[in-house]
Structure formats: C-alpha cells, structure tokens
Structure 1
Amino acid sequence: MQRIYIITVLLCAFSLITNASSKIKPNVLFITVDDMNWNSIGAYGCDIPDITPNIDRLAESGLRFEHAYVQASNCSPSRSVFQTSRYPHQSGMRGFFYVDAGFKTLPELLKENGYTTGVINKAADSSLSPDFAKYWDVNLKFKDAEKRSAASYGQQLEDFFIAVKNAKQPFYCVVNVADPHKPFFNDLKSKKQGFDAFKPSKIYKEEEVDVPAFLPDAPMVKNEVLNYFNSVKRGDDCVGAILKVLAKSEYKENTIVIFVSDHGMPLPFAKSSVYPNGIRTPWIVSWPNHIEAGSVNTDNLISAVDFMPTVLDMSGVKMPSGMEGLSFHKALQGKAVSSSEYVFGQFDENAGGIPRPSRTVLSKKYGYVFNAWATGQYPFKCSADSYATHKYMKAQSASKPAVKERLEHWVYRSVEELYDYEKDPDALNNLINDPNYQTVAEQLRKELMKQMQATNDYVLPAFRVRHDKDALNKWMQEEEQKSIHRSEKLQWKRHKNRSGATKGHTQLFLL
C-alpha cells in the first residue's frame, strides 16, 4: 500500500513538472538574409557544391516550406510585414520612410507578454517608427564593415544572450545578415568600403556558377553572378556563426529558429519585381522536440503576413485584431492546415521614393501582374540600374535584339502580365493575350480585385481603369506629386531620396 502511495506521489510530481515545463514560453530567433534568392540555397535545389551547408543543416533539423513568399520585393517594406501581419499599403510602410502606426507590432506585443526583444543589424528596416526602444529592448549595431563578418554576428548574439540572462525572460531576437546585399564580394565598391576584408569560407570560380535564365548569359553578367554567389557563401558563414553560438548556449533546446530572405537577388527581374525571383523566399523553421527533422511542407502557400500570427500562436500570446495572416503553428507540428489558394505581393516605390506600383496574385501554378505605371511614360528605376548586369544590357541593346527586348521589358513592362510559373518559373513568356489563358487571367483579376478592396489598397482606382492609359497616366501624375511631397517632408530611413538630403526631416507618414 505504501509503495502504491509513493508511486502515485511521484506520478503527480512528474505531471506537475511536465505541465509547468509545457507552459514555459519558447524563445524565437528570427534570422534573415538580405537579397538572397530562394533557389540559391542547397536545400532549395542550388547545385553549386557546398554553397550553403549551414542553412542546409538547419533545414535538415526542422521544416522547410516549399511555397513561401514575402509581400514586397524591397527591404523595408518587406521586413515590415513580418512585424505587423499587414500589407505595406495597410501599415503605411510602402517606402523607406517612417510611419506612425495605429496598432501594435509583434515586438511590442511580445514585450508586453514577458519577452525580451532584440535586433541585431538593420533596426531601422525592422521598425515602423524611429523610436527603436518602443520595439527593441536590445539594439546591437555593427561597426563599419563588420556587418560582413561571420565572427561579428556570433559575438553580437553572445552579447544579446548576456542581456537576456540578466533579464531572466524568454527572448525574441531578429538577426539581419547583410549578405548577399550589394556590393557583392569582389565588387569594386566592396573593396573600397572594406567589406572584402571578410572573405567567404570558400571562393568560387566562374566555371562553377551559371547565369540565371532570366538574365543574359554574357561574361560581364556572369562575373556579377559569381560575386553574388560568393556573397551567398559568406551569408551562409554568418548564419553558421549564429547557429554555433546558439548551439553552445543554454537556450538551444527551447529556441525556435526561423530563417528567411527578405526578397530576391539584387539584379533585374528579381529584387524590385513581383515575379517569383523577387518575392519567393526560403522559409525554414527548426524547434527541437517539436518539429520533425527533415520535414518539407509542399501543401501550403505561406507568406510574410503569416509570420506574426504564427509566432504569437507558438508563444501563447493572444492574437490581436487586424492581422491579415494565418497561424501555421499546426503545420509545423505536421498537421494538415487549410490555407489560401493565393498569395499577394507588391512593389510600391524604390528607396529614393520614386513610385512604380505593381501588384501580383499567385497560385502554385499561375501568376497575374498589374503594373499601374507601365504606360510607356514612366521608365522603371531602381538600384540595379547602376550595376554591371543592367549596364551590360543597356550597352548591348543596340546590337543584340534579344537583349534589347529583355531590357525594354524590364524598363517599361506591360500594364498586365500573366505567367504559367509551373512551365515558366523565370517569367519569360507573358501569356496575357494568349486566348488559351483568358479564363485563368480573368479568375486572377477577380482575386486581385477582391484583395485590393478588402485591404483598402490605394492602387485600386488605377486597377479599375487599367485599360485606359490616359487615366493611368493621370493617376500616376498624382502619385508622383504625392511622392515628391513625402520626400520633402517625411523622416526617411536613408540619408537621401529623390529630392536630396533627408537630414532634418521630422514628420512621420500618416495613413
């Protein structure tokens, strides 16, 4: 009888310990890389030997989403979605200026619920307003070129862990790896800025890389692609240093690691576009003893709006109203989850404030694109204009008809585009006028219309007059004037914009 009593007591004690441990909030380590194409990673099919072993090991330890997207194809607008679960036109973060949001972001909610929050690198692009302390308990920066140093990322995470240990709270930490953002390793500008002092662990040769199908295959282009992949390698080195510090820490077993890229590679038809090479992202989640190692989700379409509700769900924090995304917590547990048949992406304006609004709706197979600016009067402008690939295309367009055709498409686009991404993943064949695809086009137009109405998209009036170029030009003229006004008044995240220096600007953008 006494033996039964002792066993009962022990079982009750074990139950109490188990219940208590199950209520311990998990830590969240959110790792982003800058400008890395989803398919530049070994786990996502890149065949360059040993290109991303650290990211690959992370995928082997957890779950890889095969159909994952960001909402925007440039830095600050894209990153804002992860922290808000709102589209850029809803949060106001459609450009590179600060906004005054009327809602609480992910780090704010986590802070209110007992988390220590931190950001390593790119605090401005991870925040809506310039009041960084509102979002982040710990804000760690790099000195000069150290943001290209793998060792520096490891040291910064160690410093963050010291702060967390003193706070005695669970943490949410965003680590933003600078690579493979321009300038690439071995670019002239990279050498001048001292970035090349930090070499990737392996340096590739031209014969080891291939030019993507959406770019012209020429020596000048291939050299830039080579420099990009060497920067991908260095970015993976940085991820490895971060994961090594975590593995040696006391937080290893109770930390959810989430890895993404903010958008595609910084070359034409990728970054700053709404094609898959612009908005498709690698998305890996690892959580010891919770997520089956080496699992792959091919069923669901997931996008950046789903990040915040998923993290809140995993953290046991009450969901606020106003979020656009869905929690994929159950999918991480290997359970079936219903999700939308479509994801939506956008581009609004470049870092200098020049508006070129585009919208897209994608299914697993098709993608429809609306370019409000593509009337022939508003050439596309972005940072890639000053890079080697764009310069090559511009220089060779007079003598090479195929290059000229691609350049003109990049610069002027079409008001409407339609692609069969299953057959044409690089968006090379616009099917918008193909009679065999008119049913598909009309269905996707309807889906985009519903989305724009539901999210109060400022581009909706232009979409309604998409067949009238005069009306589109008038709408664009109005947007140009609004953008000039913003550039002259608002507080910007960059030191200059289309109107010049931004120093001294104090106003925040209000919806």
Structure 2
Amino acid sequence: MFNQILTATLLLIFNANFILADKAQPNILFITVDDMNWDSVGVYGSKLPEITPNIDSIANEGMLFERAYVQASNCSPSRVVFQSGRYPSSSGMRGFYMVNANYPMLPEVLKNNGYFTAVINKPRDTSFSGDYEKYWDQSIILKGAEKRGAQVYAQGMKDFFSLLDEKNKAFYCLVNIADPHKPFYQDPKSTESGFDEYGPSRIYTSSEITIPEFLPKHPGVKIEMRNYYNSVKRADDCVGAILKSLKDSSYEENTIVIFVSDHGMPLPFAKSSLYQNGIRTPWVMKWPEKIKPGSKDTEHMISAVDFFPTILNICGIRKVKGLEGRSFLPLIQGKTQKYRDHIFAEFNENAIGLVYPTRAVHNKKFAYIFNPWSDGKRTFSSASSFHKSYKVIKELAKTDPTVAKRFNHLSFRELEELYDLENDPDCLNNLAKNPAYQTQLKQLRAKLSQHMSKIGDYALEAIKKRESANELVQFMQEQDMQSIKRAEVIQWKRHKNRVGGTGKNTELFMSPANL
C-alpha cells in the first residue's frame, strides 16, 4: 500500500511539474542580419558551398518559411515593424528619425509580462526613440569592427546569460548582426576603417561567385558580389557564435530561436526597392519539442508585421490593440491559415530624408508596385547609389542600350509596375501597360488601395489621383515640404539629413495615431 501511495504521489508531482514546465513562458532569441538576400542562404538555394551552415542549422532543427517578407526595404523602418506590429506609414517610422508613439512596442509588452528584455547592437534602429530603458532592460551598442566579429557576439551572449542567471526571468533578446551591410569585407572602405579585423571563416574567390540576373555581368560587379558573399559568410559565423553560446548555457531547452534579415542586399534593384530582392527575407526558427525538425512552409505568406502578434500568441499574452498583422502560430503548429496569399510593403524615404513614397502588394504569382513620385524628372537615390555596382551600371549605360534602359528604370521608375514572379522573379519586364495583364493589374491595384485605406496610409490620396499628373506633382510637393520640416526640427537616428547636421534637433515626430 505504501509503495502504491508513493508511486501515485510521485506521478502527481511529475505530472504537476510537467504541466508547469509546459506552461513556462518560452525564451525568445531573435537574431537579425543587415542587408542579406533571402536566396544568399544555403537552405534557400544558394549554390555557394558552406555559405551559411549555422543559419541552415536553425531550419534543419526547426522550420523554414519559404515565402517570408519585410514591410520596408531600408533599415530602421523595417526593423521597427517587427517591434511595433504596424506598417511604417501607420507607426510614423517612415524614415530614420525618432517617433513619439502612444502605444507600446513588443519589448514593453513583454517587460510588463515578466520578461527580461535586451538588445545587442543597433538599439537606435530598433526602437521608436532613444529612450532605450522604456523598451529594454539592457541595451548594448557595438561600434566599428566589433559589430562584425563572431568573438564579440560570443562574449556578449555569455555576459548576457550570466546576467540572466541573476534575474530568474524568461527573456526576449534581440541580437542585430551588422553584416553583410556595407562596407563589405575587403571593400576599400572596410579595409581602411579597420572593419576587416574580423574575417570570415572561409573566403570565397571571384571564380566561385555568380552575379544575379538583375545586375550586369561585369568584373566590377563580380568583385562587389564576392565581397558581399564573404560578408554573408562572416554574418553566419556570428550566428554560429550566438548559437554556441546558447547551447553552452542552461537556456537552450526552453528558447525559441528566430532568424531573419531586415531586407535585401545593398545593391541596385534590391535594398530600398519593393521588388522581391528588396523585401523577401530568410525566415527560419526552431522551438525544441514544439517544432518538428526539418519543417518547411512553402505556401503561406508571412511578413514582419505578423511578428509581434505571433510572439504574444506563443508567450500566452493577450493581444494588444492596434496591431496590423496577425499571428501565424497555427503555421508553426503545422496547420493552415486562410488569407495568407499576399503581403503589402512600402518605402517612404531614404536615410537622409529624400522622399520616394512607394507601395506594393505581392502574391505568389504577381507583384504590383505604385510609384507616385515617378514623373520622369525626379531621380531615385539610395545608399546603393554610392557603391561600385551602381557606378558600373551608370558607366555601362553610356554605351550599352540594354544597360541604359535598366539604368533609366532604376533612376526614374514608372508610375505603375507589374511583374510575373513565376516567370520573371527578378522583375525585369514591367507588364503594367501590357493589354494581356490588365485584369491582374486592376485586381492588385484594388487590393493595395483597400489595404491603404484600412491602415490610413497618407499615400492613399496619390493612388486615387494616379491619372492626374498635376495632382501627383502637388502630392509630392507636399511630401517634400513635410520632409524638410522634419529634417529641420525632428530628432534623427543619423548624424545628418537632407538639410544638414541633426545634432540640435529636439522634437519627436508625432505618429499618425497622435496627429
């Protein structure tokens, strides 16, 4: 009898502990990289041998989302979507300035629900404002070469776990790796600045590199692509160091690991564009005992705006008001979800405040892009305009009619663009004026307009007035005026903008919710 009572008691204790363990809030380790194309990753089809074994391991031990996207194709606007759960035009984080929002970011919500929150590198680009303590229990800024060193991230994670041992809390830790952001490994600026102090574990040669179809086959472009892929490799080394630190800690068993890139590679027709190479991202995650290793979702489309509600759902925290995405936890659980056959994206302005409001909707077959700034005169400018590949394209355009046509499109775009993604994944052939594709054009334009109306997008008036060149000019004049005003008075995340230095700017931009 005693043995039976003892056995029953032990079973009760075991079951109670199992239930408590099962209900324990999971830790969230969110790893991002800067400017990495989705197809640069091994499990997404990169043909370079051993390019991303550590990123691949997350997918192999967990789940890969084949159709994952970000909402914006430049740094801070994209990163803040993950933490705000709102589109840039909704949150106010259209560019690289500080925003006064009257709603909480994800780390705030998690803090209020018992989580220890931390960001390692890029807290400025990840937060609405410089009031980091509001969002993060711990924020670490890395500088220079250390932002690209695997050893630095290994030590940073080790220190983080040591600190965590004292807290006895679940954690949300965001680690932002600088690579493969410009300057690339062995770029002249990188060498001169000492950024090459930390090299990749393997160095690829130009003979191993293939130039993507959306860039010209030129030796100068090949050198830049070589340096890019070596930076991709170095980023993967950093991911490996972070994963090893987690494995060496006591937290791995209850930690969800998620990996994404903030947008595409920093080259023409990728970063700062709304083509696939601008907004499609690698998105892999593992969750011990919850996600079956080697899982892959090839059908559903997810995006950055879904991250916030998904994390809350995973952590058992009630959804907050105003989120514009929705949880994809059912997909993680191997189920299906309706209405995941399209995503929306936007670009508003570059890092110094020049405005190019652009909107897009992608589904699995087509991409529609609306460029109200495109008037045949205004020239598009982004960070890539100062790098080698852009300069090569510009020079080749002087003598090569085919390249000239591409350079003209890069510079001026067209009011509307439509691409057949199944047959033209690099978006080389604009079908917007092709009579055979007017049905698709109208359907996607209507879907985008409906979305813009739903979120209160300031550019909705432009798409309504798309047939009036004069009204579009007036729209852009107003956007320029607003941008200049922001540049003169708003706190910026960069040291200069379109009107000069930003050091004396003191105001915070009021998000649409506050206007």
**TM-score, length of structure 1 as denominator length:** 0.99
- State the alpha-carbon separation in 2 of the partners of residues 5 and 436 from structure 1: 78
- State the alpha-carbon separation in 2 of the partners of residues 299 and 265 from structure 1: 24
Kept in 1: contact 2:368–2:419 (CA 8 A): yes
- State the alpha-carbon separation in 1 of the partners of residues 200 and 14 from structure 2: 49
- State the alpha-carbon separation in 1 of the partners of residues 143 and 373 from structure 2: 39
- State the alpha-carbon separation in 2 of the partners of residues 185 and 8 from structure 1: 62
The one-letter code matched in structure 2 to 1:104 is P
The one-letter code matched in structure 2 to 1:197 is E
What does 1:100-119 align with in structure 2 at a 5 Å threshold? Answer: 100-119=100-119
- State the alpha-carbon separation in 2 of the partners of residues 143 and 430 from structure 1: 41
The one-letter code matched in structure 2 to 1:375 is D
Kept in 1: contact 2:28–2:257 (CA 8 A): yes
What does 1:266-285 align with in structure 2 at a 5 Å threshold? Answer: 266-285=266-285
Deviation of the 1:8 alpha carbon? 2.6
Q: Secondary structure at the match of 2:300?
A: coil
What does 1:445-484 align with in structure 2 at a 5 Å threshold? Answer: 445-484=445-484
Q: Deviations over 1:44-80 (max 9, x none)?
A: 0000111111111111000000000000000000001
Deviation of the 1:313 alpha carbon? 0.9
Deviation of the 1:342 alpha carbon? 1.4
Q: Deviations over 1:97-146 (max 9, x none)?
A: 00000101100000000000000000001100110110010111224321
Q: Deviations over 1:415-445 (max 9, x none)?
A: 0000010111000011111111111111101
What does 1:113-152 align with in structure 2 at a 5 Å threshold? Answer: 113-152=113-152
Q: What is the aligned partner in structure 1 of residue 350 from structure 2?
A: 350
- State the alpha-carbon separation in 2 of the partners of residues 470 and 398 from structure 1: 32
Q: What is the aligned partner in structure 2 of residue 300 from structure 1?
A: 300
Q: Indicate whether 1:329 and 2:329 are aligned.
A: yes
Q: Indicate whether 1:256 and 2:252 are aligned.
A: no
The one-letter code matched in structure 2 to 1:9 is T
- State the alpha-carbon separation in 2 of the partners of residues 283 and 138 from structure 1: 25
Q: Indicate whether 1:426 and 2:422 are aligned.
A: no
Q: Secondary structure at the match of 1:272?
A: coil
Q: What is the aligned partner in structure 1 of residue 227 from structure 2?
A: 227
Deviation of the 1:323 alpha carbon? 0.5
What does 1:49-64 align with in structure 2 at a 5 Å threshold? Answer: 49-64=49-64
Q: What is the aligned partner in structure 2 of residue 436 from structure 1?
A: 436
Q: Secondary structure at the match of 2:260?
A: strand
Deviation of the 1:337 alpha carbon? 2.6
What does 1:11-90 align with in structure 2 at a 5 Å threshold? Answer: 11-90=11-90
Q: What is the aligned partner in structure 1 of residue 160 from structure 2?
A: 160
- State the alpha-carbon separation in 1 of the partners of residues 234 and 13 from structure 2: 49
The one-letter code matched in structure 1 to 2:16 is L
- State the alpha-carbon separation in 1 of the partners of residues 371 and 144 from structure 2: 38
Identity of aligned residues (%): 52
**Backbone CA RMSD of aligned residues:** 1.0
Q: What is the aligned partner in structure 2 of residue 8 from structure 1?
A: 8
Deviation of the 1:7 alpha carbon? 3.2
Q: Secondary structure at the match of 1:67?
A: strand
Structure 1 stretch displaced more, 304-313 or 462-471: 462-471
- State the alpha-carbon separation in 1 of the partners of residues 396 and 67 from structure 2: 36
Q: What is the aligned partner in structure 2 of residue 491 from structure 1?
A: 491
Compared with structure 1, are the counterparts of its residues 67 and 92 closer, same or farther at alpha carbon in structure 2 (3 Å cutoff)? same
Q: What is the aligned partner in structure 2 of residue 412 from structure 1?
A: 412
Structure 1 stretch displaced more, 216-225 or 9-18: 9-18
Q: What is the aligned partner in structure 1 of residue 183 from structure 2?
A: 183
- State the alpha-carbon separation in 1 of the partners of residues 118 and 7 from structure 2: 45
Deviation of the 1:3 alpha carbon? 4.4
> What are the ranges of 5 or more consecutive residues in structure 1 without an aligned counterpart?
none
Q: Indicate whether 1:238 and 2:238 are aligned.
A: yes
- State the alpha-carbon separation in 2 of the partners of residues 242 and 46 from structure 1: 22
Q: Secondary structure at the match of 2:172?
A: strand
Q: Secondary structure at the match of 1:301?
A: strand
- State the alpha-carbon separation in 2 of the partners of residues 346 and 500 from structure 1: 26
- State the alpha-carbon separation in 1 of the partners of residues 53 and 341 from structure 2: 32
> What are the ranges of 5 or more consecutive residues in structure 2 without an aligned counterpart?
none
Q: What is the aligned partner in structure 1 of residue 313 from structure 2?
A: 313
- State the alpha-carbon separation in 2 of the partners of residues 364 and 197 from structure 1: 42
- State the alpha-carbon separation in 2 of the partners of residues 180 and 4 from structure 1: 62
The one-letter code matched in structure 2 to 1:446 is A
Q: Secondary structure at the match of 2:155?
A: helix
Aligned residues: 511
Q: What is the aligned partner in structure 1 of residue 373 from structure 2?
A: 373
Q: Secondary structure at the match of 1:470?
A: helix
- State the alpha-carbon separation in 2 of the partners of residues 58 and 21 from structure 1: 23
Deviation of the 1:403 alpha carbon? 1.0
Deviation of the 1:338 alpha carbon? 2.6
- State the alpha-carbon separation in 2 of the partners of residues 99 and 36 from structure 1: 26
Q: Deviations over 1:19-63 (max 9, x none)?
A: 111121110000000000000000000001111111111110000
Kept in 1: contact 2:368–2:418 (CA 8 A): yes
Kept in 1: contact 2:27–2:256 (CA 8 A): yes
Q: What is the aligned partner in structure 2 of residue 341 from structure 1?
A: 341
Structure 1 stretch displaced more, 104-113 or 315-324: 315-324
**TM-score, length of structure 2 as denominator length:** 0.98
Q: Deviations over 1:178-209 (max 9, x none)?
A: 00000001111101111111111111111101
Structure 1 stretch displaced more, 205-214 or 391-400: 391-400
- State the alpha-carbon separation in 2 of the partners of residues 154 and 252 from structure 1: 15
- State the alpha-carbon separation in 1 of the partners of residues 139 and 165 from structure 2: 16
Kept in 1: contact 2:121–2:175 (CA 8 A): yes
- State the alpha-carbon separation in 2 of the partners of residues 366 and 26 from structure 1: 37
Q: Deviations over 1:352-377 (max 9, x none)?
A: 00000100001111110000101112
Q: Deviations over 1:296-330 (max 9, x none)?
A: 01121100011011111111111111101111112
Q: Secondary structure at the match of 1:343?
A: strand
The one-letter code matched in structure 2 to 1:364 is K
- State the alpha-carbon separation in 2 of the partners of residues 252 and 100 from structure 1: 36
Kept in 1: contact 2:122–2:142 (CA 8 A): no
Q: Indicate whether 1:213 and 2:219 are aligned.
A: no
The one-letter code matched in structure 2 to 1:90 is S
The one-letter code matched in structure 2 to 1:283 is W
The one-letter code matched in structure 2 to 1:69 is Y
Q: Secondary structure at the match of 2:100?
A: coil
- State the alpha-carbon separation in 1 of the partners of residues 479 and 394 from structure 2: 28
Q: What is the aligned partner in structure 2 of residue 99 from structure 1?
A: 99
Q: Secondary structure at the match of 1:66?
A: strand
Q: Secondary structure at the match of 2:299?
A: coil
The one-letter code matched in structure 2 to 1:110 is L
